[in-house]
Each structure stands twice: as structure tokens, then as C-alpha cells.
């Protein structure tokens, strides 16, 4: 398990920007196509959003393949968007299902604080009422969601690539992803601060 310095978080941002600069049109086309497909899926009642979430690990591997192709000096094609579905698809679909269940559990726990306001907002696209914001219920739910959602994200951050490229099973990839994220918390903290700084500048 590789442990990197805190400054690696900034390097990740620079590498991402460098990848985009080398092939901006390819990135824009692929990301736009991805969001178009997700929007189409979300139009299907009930099952559409479920599938969009379950397919997330496979698509994340696809975008890693795009980045890898650009890094190697190749021109990425639209077919790379499906590459994640050709690399251990059963394991990636399993990871997607586990991710869906874990996030639903996290939102379910947040309902103890706000009576399901946050859950309905994210899952049912039902915006919170003004009183839920004023009385702090939504803020409490967001805190619970953040505390329970963070370890979930840690477990799933590297797991799709570990499953697809290292041949790990779902459980093993989640285990290694969680502890790799934990041991590299300094780099992730720096990365997160960098993302927030970029967001503030762009806004």
C-alpha cells in the first residue's frame, strides 16, 4: 500500500488539469455524453436512478481509461466510455449495488435528525421546506450524512480500479481502498482544500 506526501493532493489536481489541457475536446465530449446518458436513465421512473448509481463504478473505470490513454499520448475515442463495462463487469456492478445500499443507509440514518428531509431531497428531488432549514434539522442531517458518507467514499474511491485492473473481488477492493484512503488522509485533505479553492475562484 503506497503512502504519499500531503503535497501529492495538489499534484493530483495539476495532473487532472494537464490531462484536460492535452485533450480538452475529448474530455468535453465524453463527459457530456456521460451526463446525457445519466439524464436519460433518470427519466425512467424508479429503476433509472438505481441503474445510474449501480453503473457508477464501471463508468469511473472508463474515465480512468480515458486519462490513461491521454497520458500515453493516444487520442481517446468515444468507445472508451464503455471500457469499464468490459473489465470485470460483474464485480463492478456488485460494487455499484453495494454503493447504492451504503448511501441509502447513510441517508436513512440522517432521517433521525430531520425526519427524512435530506433523504427526500436527494432521492426524491423534493426540496426542503424553509422551516427545516431555519430550525437546524437539515444542518444536523447533513452533518450525519457527512460523518457516515465519508467512510463510504473512502471505501469506494479506489475500489473500481482495484477490481478492474488488479483483479480484486468486491470485498477485497473495498478493504484496500478504505485503508489506502485512510493512510493517505493528508494528501486527500490537501486535495479537498485545493478543490474548494478552485471552486471559490471559479464562482
pLDDT tens-digit series, residues 22-58: 999 999 999 999 999 999 998 998 899 999 999 999 9
Question: Angle of helix 89-114 relative to helix 56-71, nearest 10 degrees?
Answer: 120
**In this predicted model, what pLDDT tens digit does every residue of 166-198 receive, in sequence order?**
999 999 999 999 999 999 999 999 999 999 998
- Say whether pLDDT at 119 is over 90: no
Mean pLDDT of 97-111: 94
How confident is the model at residue 123, as a pLDDT?
Answer: 80
How confident is the model at residue 147, as a pLDDT?
Answer: 94
Q: What's the number of domains the chain is made of?
A: 2
Residue 152 is placed in which grid cell? 463510504
**Does residue 4 lie in a domain region?**
no
**Does residue 47 lie in a domain region?**
yes
- Say whether pLDDT at 124 is over 80: no
**Does residue 98 lie in a domain region?**
yes
Mean pLDDT of 131-159: 91
How confident is the model at residue 106, as a pLDDT?
Answer: 94
**Does residue 110 lie in a domain region?**
yes
**Does residue 193 lie in a domain region?**
no
Mean pLDDT over all residues of the chain?
A: 92
Mean pLDDT of 75-79: 87
Contact 133, 157 (CB under 8 A): no
**In this predicted model, what pLDDT tens digit does every residue of 84-93 receive, in sequence order?**
999 999 999 9
Is 99 found in the same domain as 74?
A: no
Is 47 found in the same domain as 66?
A: yes
Identify the domain boundary among 28, 58, 80.
Answer: 80
* Cα 88 to Cα 163: distance, rounded to the nearest angstrom: 7
How confident is the model at residue 89, as a pLDDT?
Answer: 95
Is 104 found in the same domain as 164?
A: yes
Is 93 found in the same domain as 17?
A: no
Is 93 found in the same domain as 57?
A: no
**Does residue 112 lie in a domain region?**
yes
**Does residue 197 lie in a domain region?**
no
Q: The domain containing residue 27 runs over which residues? A: 9-80
Report the share of the chain in percent with pLDDT over 90: 70
**Does residue 200 lie in a domain region?**
no
Q: Which of 4, 22, 12 is nearest to 71 (CA)?
A: 22
Q: How many CB atoms lie within 10 A of CB 152?
A: 18
Is 176 found in the same domain as 101?
A: yes
Is 108 found in the same domain as 169?
A: yes
- Say whether pLDDT at 130 is over 90: no
Contact 160, 92 (CB under 8 A): yes
Let me know if 184 is exposed, middle or buried by CB neighbors in 10 A (0-12, 13-18, 19+). Answer: buried
* Cα 157 to Cα 166: distance, rounded to the nearest angstrom: 15
Is 76 found in the same domain as 104?
A: no
Is 49 found in the same domain as 111?
A: no
Amino acid at each position: 500500500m503506497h503512502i504519499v506526501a500531503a503535497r501529492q493532493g495538489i499534484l493530483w489536481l495539476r495532473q487532472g488539469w494537464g490531462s484536460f489541457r492535452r485533450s480538452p475536446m475529448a474530455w468535453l465530449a465524453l463527459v457530456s455524453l456521460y451526463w446525457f446518458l445519466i439524464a436519460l436513465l433518470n427519466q425512467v421512473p424508479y429503476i433509472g436512478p438505481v441503474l445510474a448509481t449501480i453503473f457508477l463504478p464501471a463508468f469511473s473505470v472508463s474515465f480512468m481509461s480515458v486519462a490513461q490513454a491521454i497520458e500515453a499520448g493516444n487520442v481517446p475515442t468515444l468507445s472508451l466510455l464503455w471500457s469499464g463495462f468490459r473489465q470485470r463487469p460483474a464485480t463492478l456492478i456488485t460494487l455499484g449495488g453495494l454503493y447504492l445500499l451504503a448511501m441509502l443507509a447513510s441517508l436513512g440514518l440522517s432521517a433521525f435528525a430531520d425526519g427524512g428531509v435530506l433523504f427526500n431531497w436527494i432521492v426524491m428531488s423534493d426540496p426542503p421546506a424553509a422551516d427545516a432549514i431555519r430550525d437546524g434539522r437539515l444542518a444536523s442531517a447533513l452533518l450525519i450524512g457527512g460523518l457516515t458518507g465519508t467512510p463510504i467514499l473512502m471505501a469506494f474511491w479506489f475500489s473500481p480500479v482495484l477490481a478492474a485492473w488488479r483483479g480484486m473481488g468486491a470485498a477485497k477492493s473495498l478493504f484496500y481502498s478504505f485503508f489506502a484512503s485512510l493512510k493517505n488522509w493528508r494528501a486527500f485533505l490537501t486535495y479537498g482544500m485545493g478543490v474548494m479553492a478552485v471552486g471559490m475562484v471559479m464562482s
